[in-house]
């Protein structure tokens, strides 16, 4: 029954044909279960493990690598090769792919946990009336029409419509569903509201929420998937995970690279068809197989096998740095996504504010002897810690606030007319509350005011332990006064009272809504001398004026405090006693903004990131918070920037688009609105970060480009998110965005480094094949260079320092290529030099080396016909391992110099010297050490087909390698001087539309 909130109690009961005094019969229960279903969230079938594994290999580059590994394995078998060297290459490739697949499977498995944790919010049992009597049944057996009784501490077992109030009031904490900062009072009356949101349905008790005060009966109107919690589950199921911007760009580049690789491999094979019959191969088929192996080696050289591992490692390093900032990353790709965030949709309560209600202003009557003089006090401290001071209207701190009569009695009333508890948690090292936030705020106010006499001295209170200090002043007043009788808060009276006795003097303390308390007061306490004077019309008008200012301009939640001297021996109080009260004072409280949020908002504006506040609270309160945190500072009129969910839905379609582009505040929202907002922003090509902590936030967190859950939030929100804020602080998000941008910049640098290195390997093999000289490098050598000598420096590039102006640049566009046209041209030039230098080292050994044969270049080009003609040298020199060792060493050393080029995209090494990143210097040293090990340790040199090099050969290697520094310095200079030159890898489309 979807509109139960709009129906009267008799209408709802008639709909289900249930007698509220007897409940459903067994026959009705069976019928309703068949018609409406059971009260169980259906189990969602998870993706089979084998499908998760196979999906990790659905990538063109990965498929090419698998094909290359399989072909290498088959060719080794056809050629009769045995031993470790024969199968080393395919085995290593497959191991790398398996490791990357494992990471992907673990990530996707975590994403499905949110649905399971949603079940934790379902109640286990319910008190149900059936066949005329109450019984406790499993909540899963409830059906629509069941009569359920709920009381304090009960978790609501299904969606219920209130039918009978069994106490003065019923209050429910539904923050996990709506994000409201305080509990909600429920009522019986029907609600006729257009586009009603959960907050408007004040006669409905929602599944999974908790009763915090009162007792009532209700009828079940929704079970299982038809509850508010069920709609959240369905919304999460419909949400598909989106690829991150970096993943999309790497996939695009991978597809482009794969096509180029395939073309080059085929071209190399076709170019050498004329050499298939060369005698050195032993026949046409053997020649075809030989050059096919070269094509496979080319594919291995061109594909950066270590790229996925290095990207993962760099992102993992970023997560460690972000963890130190209190941002716990659950999904590695989200680290990079942060860098291009354009809109942050932030929850208000607990993220922008402390989620700790505290008194910020006090108003009392100072004196009435010479006209009406009211006094206002400001209160510092915004947490549940008993730390803060009282300041007068001039801003001067009061040393002993309890010496002022009104403040003293405010402390008494706050401590005694109170049912909450404040305590210190040594494990979490923070003060915690039990009870209503407003009552806890009064407890803390009593601690800040302190005690009269010696006990009020700050030094005396500061000597206490945190556990003792938590409620020391409150306990003092509770020991001084004995509570005799209590009148609980009711919706009609809007106040509560408590009768206390001290030294045979009975006093009634009252607190409540200012309009209710004032209407029952006939006198008022003066703060200057402690006297009591009649509450005249002028004084009443002054107090009402201050109340209007507190509630209106300052948007504070206000409470009034009063007392009454009762007759000696009075033991009970009734409603009739709540009259002729003495007004003590007015207190205004708020959930205060975090102090660091204003600067964080400013940093976002500077960085081109729009902050949108999204909350379930009312519009006036949220607007007040936005003014205080600076979200409206740049606006003269913010009415067009602030909308409730209902106001936004009523807008025409054309105006909605415009409103979305300007919106700063979105209030009175429910779960569907948050998800709608994320989708709408994404359709406008925005990269959206969404924060949340409740079960209601899970669908939006899952849908957002990066979902950010609060550390104090629900397990469902955390499981649906990409990142968790350990300190629930908005400023942490901004720090994480800066880190994300720095990580992306470093990621680009090592991707470009690896690409330029692989281009060099491709050029090396291609040029060798075109020139007709022997193979310069064997596949196992290429694999060593790709994984070890490329991988270590590439990872170290991830430690490049964050630019000082990283948060002054606008967010990068989602469709920005990782490697732009001009940069690809730059690295083609670098890659070409790397390849040519490698081939030059190979040729140098044959022609010029003192340890080589010193043969003419023409003989080298005709090496394949050596066996058919007379030569002055043995044909075995063409299988000597020296030339390939020189070539491999040139390739390694030139790439080490190229790694130094990638300390910055455009800055010279003179500006950013190598020692600015000691990790890179160390990785280069370690790489060279590992390379020397395979050269000079016999078992390793045999495995990699290399031999030790002489000093003369090392000198040549350095001469051939160092010029890559000079070439890149020239290209960097050209990049800095020339801004207009850009090349594009593909034609520019008229319109880039985000694929969602």
Give catalytic residue positions: 347
CA distances from 555 to 360, 495, 594, 616, 636 (A): 11, 20, 17, 16, 19
C-alpha–C-alpha distance, residues 434 and 427, integer Å: 17
CA angle 721–723–728, rounded 5-degree value: 105
Among residues 180, 191, 307, the alpha carbon closest in space to that of 246 is found at 307
Dihedral, CA of residue 547, residue 548, residue 551 and residue 552, to nearest 10:
-160
Per-residue DSSP letters for 979-995?
SS----SSPPPS-----
What is residue 234's three-state secondary structure? Answer: helix
Residues 743, 339: Cα–Cα separation, whole Å: 8
For residue 222, what is the enclosing H or E element?
strand 215-222
CA distance 301 to 308: 15
Each as own residue / partner, the long-range contacts of residues 400-404 (CB below 8 Å, 24 or more positions apart, any chain) are: 400/450, 400/456, 400/457, 401/448, 401/449, 401/450, 401/456, 402/449, 402/450, 402/451, 402/452, 402/456, 403/452, 403/456, 404/527
Cα–Cα distance measured from residue 340 to residue 813, given in angstroms and rounded to the nearest whole number: 7
Alpha-carbon span 840 to 964, nearest angstrom: 14
Integer-rounded Cα Rg, in Å, for the chain is: 38
Helices and strands per DSSP (H, E), number in the chain: 36, 29
In three-state secondary structure terms, 197 is coil
> Over the range 429-451, which residues count as b (16 or more CB within 10 Å of their CB) and which as e?
eebebebbbbbbbbbbbbbbbbb
Burial class (CB within 10 angstroms; exposed 0-12, middle 13-18, buried 19+) of 568? exposed
Contact (CB, 8 A) for 490 and 168:
yes
Structure tokens at 894: 């030139």
Whole-number Å distance between alpha carbons of 559 and 362: 10
- 3 state SS for 588-611: EEECCECCCHHHHHHHHHHCCCEE
- Is 745 in contact with 801 (CB distance < 8 Å)? no
Q: Which helix (H) or strand (E) holds 919?
A: helix 918-936
Q: Is residue 558 within 8 Å of 550, Cβ to Cβ?
A: yes
- Distance CA(784)–CA(777), nearest Å, equals 11
- What would the two tokens of residue 482 be? 């004995």
Identify the CA nearest to 806 among candidates 743, 733, 747.
Answer: 743
Cite the DSSP H helix spans in 804-911: 821-847, 857-861, 882-901
Candidates 8, 98, 117; CA nearest to 721 is 117
Instruction: Answer yes or no: are the C-beta atoms of 327 and 732 closer than 8 Å.
Output: yes
- What is the distance, to the nearest Å, from the Cα of residue 810 to the centroid of all Cα atoms in its chain? 20
**Residue 298 near residue 258, CB atoms below 8 Å:** no
Q: Do 584 and 525 meet the contact criterion of CB atoms below 8 Å apart? A: yes
Give the ranges where 607-709 is alpha helix by DSSP (H).
619-629, 645-650, 653-662, 671-683, 698-703
Q: How far apart are CA 197 and CA 673, in angstroms?
A: 10
């Amino acid at each position: 029954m979807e509109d139960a909130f709009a129906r009267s109690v008799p209408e709802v009961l008639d709909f289900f044909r249930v007698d509220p005094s007897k409940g459903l019969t067994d026959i009705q229960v069976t019928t309703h279960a068949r018609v409406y279903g059971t009260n169980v969230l259906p189990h969602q079938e998870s993706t089979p493990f084998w499908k998760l594994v196979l999906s990790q290999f659905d990538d063109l580059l990965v498929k090419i690598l698998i094909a290359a590994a399989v072909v290498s394995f088959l060719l080794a078998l056809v050629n009769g090769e045995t031993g470790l060297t024969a199968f080393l290459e395919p085995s290593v490739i497959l191991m790398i792919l398996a490791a990357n697949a494992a990471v992907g499977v673990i990530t996707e498995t975590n994403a499905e946990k949110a649905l399971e944790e949603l079940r934790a919010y379902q109640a286990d049992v319910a008190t149900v009336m059936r066949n005329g009597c109450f019984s406790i049944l499993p909540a899963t057996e409830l059906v629509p029409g069941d009569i359920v009784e709920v009381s304090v501490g009960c978790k609501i077992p299904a969606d219920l419509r209130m039918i009978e109030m069994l106490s003065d009031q019923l209050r429910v904490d539904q923050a996990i569903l709506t994000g409201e900062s305080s509990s909600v009072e429920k009522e019986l009356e029907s609600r006729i509201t257009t586009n009603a949101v959960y907050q408007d349905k004040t006669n409905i008790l929602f599944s999974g929420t908790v009763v915090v005060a009162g007792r009532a009966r209700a009828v079940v109107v929704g079970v299982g998937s038809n509850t508010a919690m069920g709609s959240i589950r369905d919304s999460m199921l419909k949400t598909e995970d989106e690829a991150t911007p970096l993943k999309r760009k790497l996939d695009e580049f991978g597809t482009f690279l794969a096509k180029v690789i395939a073309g080059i491999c085929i071209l190399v094979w076709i170019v050498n068809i004329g050499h298939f019959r060369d005698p050195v191969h032993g026949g046409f088929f053997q020649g075809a197989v030989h050059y096919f192996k070269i094509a496979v080696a080319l594919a291995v050289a061109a594909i950066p096998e270590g790229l996925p591992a290095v990207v993962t490692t760099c992102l993992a390093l970023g997560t460690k740095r972000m963890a130190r900032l209190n941002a716990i990353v659950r999904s590695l790709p989200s680290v990079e996504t942060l860098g291009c965030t354009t809109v942050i949709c932030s929850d208000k309560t607990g993220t922008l504010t402390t989620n700790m209600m505290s008194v910020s202003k006090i108003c009392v009557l100072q004196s009435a002897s010479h006209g009406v003089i009211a006094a206002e006090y400001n209160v510092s401290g915004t947490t549940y810690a008993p730390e803060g001071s009282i300041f007068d209207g001039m801003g001067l701190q009061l040393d002993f606030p309890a010496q002022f009569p009104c403040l003293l009695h405010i402390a008494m009333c706050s401590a005694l007319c109170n049912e909450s508890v404040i305590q210190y948690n040594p494990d979490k090292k923070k003060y915690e509350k039990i009870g209503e936030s407003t009552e806890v705020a009064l407890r803390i106010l009593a601690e800040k005011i302190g005690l009269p006499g010696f006990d009020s001295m700050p030094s005396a209170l500061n000597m206490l332990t945190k556990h003792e200090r938590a409620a020391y002043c409150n306990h003092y007043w509770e020991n001084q006064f004995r509570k005799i009788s209590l009148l609980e808060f009711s919706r009609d009276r809007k106040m509560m009272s408590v009768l206390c006795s001290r030294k045979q003097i009975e006093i009634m303390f009252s607190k409540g809504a200012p309009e209710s308390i004032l209407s029952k007061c006939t006198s008022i306490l003066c703060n200057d001398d402690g006297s009591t004077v009649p509450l005249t019309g002028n004084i009443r008008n002054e107090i009402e004026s201050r109340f209007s200012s507190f509630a209106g301009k300052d948007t504070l939640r206000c409470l009034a405090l009063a007392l009454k001297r009762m007759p000696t021996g009075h033991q009970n109080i009734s409603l009739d006693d709540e009259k002729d009260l003495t007004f003590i004072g007015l207190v205004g409280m708020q959930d205060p903004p975090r102090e660091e949020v204003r600067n964080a908002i400013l940093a976002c504006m500077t960085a081109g990131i729009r902050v949108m506040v999204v909350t379930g609270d009312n519009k006036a309160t949220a607007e007040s918070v936005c003014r205080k945190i600076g979200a409206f500072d740049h606006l003269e009129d913010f009415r067009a920037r602030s909308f409730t969910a209902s106001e936004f839905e009523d807008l025409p379609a054309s105006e909605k688009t415009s409103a979305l582009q300007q919106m700063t505040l979105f209030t009175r929202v429910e779960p569907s609105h948050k998800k709608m907002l994320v989708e709408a922003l994404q359709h406008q090509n925005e990269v959206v970060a969404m924060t949340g902590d409740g079960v209601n936030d899970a669908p939006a967190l899952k849908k957002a480009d990066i979902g950010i859950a609060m550390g104090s939030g629900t397990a469902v929100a955390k499981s649906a998110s990409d990142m968790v804020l350990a300190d629930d602080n908005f400023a942490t998000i901004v720090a994480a965005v800066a880190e994300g941008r720095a990580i992306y910049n470093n990621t680009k640098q090592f991707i470009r480094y690896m690409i330029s290195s692989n281009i060099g390997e491709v050029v090396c093999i291609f040029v060798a094949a075109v020139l007709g000289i022997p193979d310069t490098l064997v596949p196992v050598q290429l694999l060593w260079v790709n994984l070890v000598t490329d991988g270590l420096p590439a990872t170290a590039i991830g430690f490049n320092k964050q630019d000082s102006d990283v948060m002054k640049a606008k967010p990068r566009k989602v469709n920005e290529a990782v490697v732009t046209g001009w940069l690809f041209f730059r690295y083609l030039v670098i890659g070409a030099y790397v390849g040519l230098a490698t081939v030059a080292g190979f040729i140098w050994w044959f022609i010029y080396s003192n340890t080589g044969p010193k043969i003419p270049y023409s003989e080298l080009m005709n090496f394949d016909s050596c066996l058919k003609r007379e030569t002055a040298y043995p044909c075995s020199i063409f299988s000597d391992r020296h030339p390939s060792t020189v070539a491999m060493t040139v390739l390694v050393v030139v790439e080490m110099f190229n790694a130094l080029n990638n300390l910055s995209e455009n800055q010279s090494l003179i500006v950013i010297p190598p020692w600015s990143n000691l990790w890179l210097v160390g990785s280069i040293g370690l790489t060279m050490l590992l390379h020397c090990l395979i050269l000079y340790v016999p078992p390793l040199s045999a495995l990699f087909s290399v031999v030790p090099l002489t000093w003369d050969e090392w000198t040549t290697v350095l001469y051939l390698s160092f010029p890559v520094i000079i070439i890149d310095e020239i290209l960097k200079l050209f990049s800095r001087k020339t801004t207009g030159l850009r090349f594009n890898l593909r034609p520019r489309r008229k319109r880039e539309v985000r694929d969602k």
